C-alpha cells in the first residue's frame, strides 16, 4: 500500500501553471522584441538564446525538477511490514451541510470553513475510531465510508465546498439517512452521527429519522453553526452578497430549534459552534462515554520512504539544466 506522508505539500503544484503562464508571456515578449530589431529570421540566427527548442527544453526540465522536488517533499511511502492491531473505538460519521447558506460570514471566516475546521480538530483528538464523511444540501452524498485512514478524510475536507452537493437546500433527513447507511446494521451500539448545519430549511422528516436512528443504536449529535440574527450569503462568483429577485440581500439564519429537536430525538446533544476547542472537548467527552468495541484490523506497521529518489532526480535535472 502506498501513501504520501505529508500530502499537504501538493498545493505547491499550483506553481506549475503560474510558471507556464510566465514562460508563454516571456516567449511572446521575446518574439516582439526580435521583430523590433529587424528581420526576424536573420536576428534569430544571430542570437544563441533563440536556438529552436532550447528555451522550451530548459522550461520542461525546470517543470520536471519542480514536480520531482514536490514529490520528494510529500514523501511517497510503501508499507513493507503489516500486522494485526487491536484497538477499541466507535464508528463516527460526520455529516456536513454544504448548502450555499454555509458561505455566510456570521462566524469567521465563514460557516463552512468553521465546520471543516471543527471536523479536522476532532480528527486530531481521535485515534482508534472509524470515521465516515457525508456532505449534504438538497441531497446527501457519502464522501467516504467508515475508515481509520484519517488522512483520506482530511484530504476530502480540503476539497469540500458548496459545489460538492449540486442540489441546493438543507435536507437534514437525507443526511441522517445517508449517515445511517454507512454503519454496519448488525451492530446495535458503538455508532454516532455528528451533524453540522445551520438547519435553515425546515425538514419535517428529520426528527422522525433521528428517532429511528436512535432505535437502531445510533447516537445523533447536532452542531449549530451561524447566528439566529442572520447574515447575508456571500457569492464567490460575483464577489458580493447574494440577492433575491427583488434585488435585496438574501439573509440566512441559524435554526437552533430544529437542530435541538433532532438531537433530542436522536439521543444526543446540541451545541452552538462558538468556541471550536470547547465543542471539540465536549464532543470528545460524549464519544468517550460510549461503549467501545474491538477494532481489529490488518495495518502496515512500517513504511519505507522514497523521497530521496525524487530529490536526487530533481537535483540531476537542475544540473542538466
In a structure prediction context, what are the per-residue pLDDT tens digits for the chain, which is 321 residues long? 677 777 778 888 999 999 999 989 888 887 787 677 766 666 666 665 555 567 788 899 999 999 999 999 888 888 666 555 555 678 999 999 999 999 999 998 999 999 999 999 999 988 888 999 999 998 999 999 999 889 889 999 999 998 887 777 678 999 999 999 999 887 777 899 999 999 987 677 999 999 999 999 999 999 999 999 888 888 877 778 888 777 788 888 999 999 999 999 999 999 999 999 999 999 999 988 886 655 555 555 567 888 899 999 999 999 988
Asked if residue 1 belongs to a domain, the reply is no
Asked if residue 280 belongs to a domain, the reply is yes
Is the pTM above the cut of 0.75? no
On whether the CB atoms of residues 305 and 91 are closer than 8 A, the answer is no
Could you tell me the three cell numbers for 293? Answer: 468495541
Asked if residue 127 belongs to a domain, the reply is yes
CATH code assigned at 190: 3.40.50.410
Q: Do residues 59 and 161 both lie within one domain?
A: no
Q: Do residues 23 and 118 both lie within one domain?
A: no
Output the CA torsion sign for 122, 124, 129, 133. positive
Which of helix, strand or coil describes residue 233?
Answer: coil
Q: Do residues 198 and 293 both lie within one domain?
A: yes
Strands 191-197, 91-97: pairing kind:
parallel
Q: Do residues 96 and 230 both lie within one domain?
A: yes
Give the contacts of 38 (CB within 8 A, at least 6 positions apart).
Answer: none
For 82, the enclosing helix (H) or strand (E) is strand 76-85
Q: Do residues 204 and 65 both lie within one domain?
A: no
Q: Do residues 97 and 222 both lie within one domain?
A: yes
pLDDT digit string, tens, across residues 276-302:
999 999 999 998 888 665 555 555 556
- Number of structural domains, the chain? 2
Asked if residue 2 belongs to a domain, the reply is no
Asked if residue 91 belongs to a domain, the reply is yes
Asked if residue 58 belongs to a domain, the reply is yes
pLDDT digit string, tens, across residues 74-93:
888 886 665 555 556 789 99
Asked if residue 5 belongs to a domain, the reply is no
Q: Do residues 109 and 238 both lie within one domain?
A: yes
Q: What range defines the domain where residue 23 resides?
A: 13-77+305-320
Amino acid at each position: 500500500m502506498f501513501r504520501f506522508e505529508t500530502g499537504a505539500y501538493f498545493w505547491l503544484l499550483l506553481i506549475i501553471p503560474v510558471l507556464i503562464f510566465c514562460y508563454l508571456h516571456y516567449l511572446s515578449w521575446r518574439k516582439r522584441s526580435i521583430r523590433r530589431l529587424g528581420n526576424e529570421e536573420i536576428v534569430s540566427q544571430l542570437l544563441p538564446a533563440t536556438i529552436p527548442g532550447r528555451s522550451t527544453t530548459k522550461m520542461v526540465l525546470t517543470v520536471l525538477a519542480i514536480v520531482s522536488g514536490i514529490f520528494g517533499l510529500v514523501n511517497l511511502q510503501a508499507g513493507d511490514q503489516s500486522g494485526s492491531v487491536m484497538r477499541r473505538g466507535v464508528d463516527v460519521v460526520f455529516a456536513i451541510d454544504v448548502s450555499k447558506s454555509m458561505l455566510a460570514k456570521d462566524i469567521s471566516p465563514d460557516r463552512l470553513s468553521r465546520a471543516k475546521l471543527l471536523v479536522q480538530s476532532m480528527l486530531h483528538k481521535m485515534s482508534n475510531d472509524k470515521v465516515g464523511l457525508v456532505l449534504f444540501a438538497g441531497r446527501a452524498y457519502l464522501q467516504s465510508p467508515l475508515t481509520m485512514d484519517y488522512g483520506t478524510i482530511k484530504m476530502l475536507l480540503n476539497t469540500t465546498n458548496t459545489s460538492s452537493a449540486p442540489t441546493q437546500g438543507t435536507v437534514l433527513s437525507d443526511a441522517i439517512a445517508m449517515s445511517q447507511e454507512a454503519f454496519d446494521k448488525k451492530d446495535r451500539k458503538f455508532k454516532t452521527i455528528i451533524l453540522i448545519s445551520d438547519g435553515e430549511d425546515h425538514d419535517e422528516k428529520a426528527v422522525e429519522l433521528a428517532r429511528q436512528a436512535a432505535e437502531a443504536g445510533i447516537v445523533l449529535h447536532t452542531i449549530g453553526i451561524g447566528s439566529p440574527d442572520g447574515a447575508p450569503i456571500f457569492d464567490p462568483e460575483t464577489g458580493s452578497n447574494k440577492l433575491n429577485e427583488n434585488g435585496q440581500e438574501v439573509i440566512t439564519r441559524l435554526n437552533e430549534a430544529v437542530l435541538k429537536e433532532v438531537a433530542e430525538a436522536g439521543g444526543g446533544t446540541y451545541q452552538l459552534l462558538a468556541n471550536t476547542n470547547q465543542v471539540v472537548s465536549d464532543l470528545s467527552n460524549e464519544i468517550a462515554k460510549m461503549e467501545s468495541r474491538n477494532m481489529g484490523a490488518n495495518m502496515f506497521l512500517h513504511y519505507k520512504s522514497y523521497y530521496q529518489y525524487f530529490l536526487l532526480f530533481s537535483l540531476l535535472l537542475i544540473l542538466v539544466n
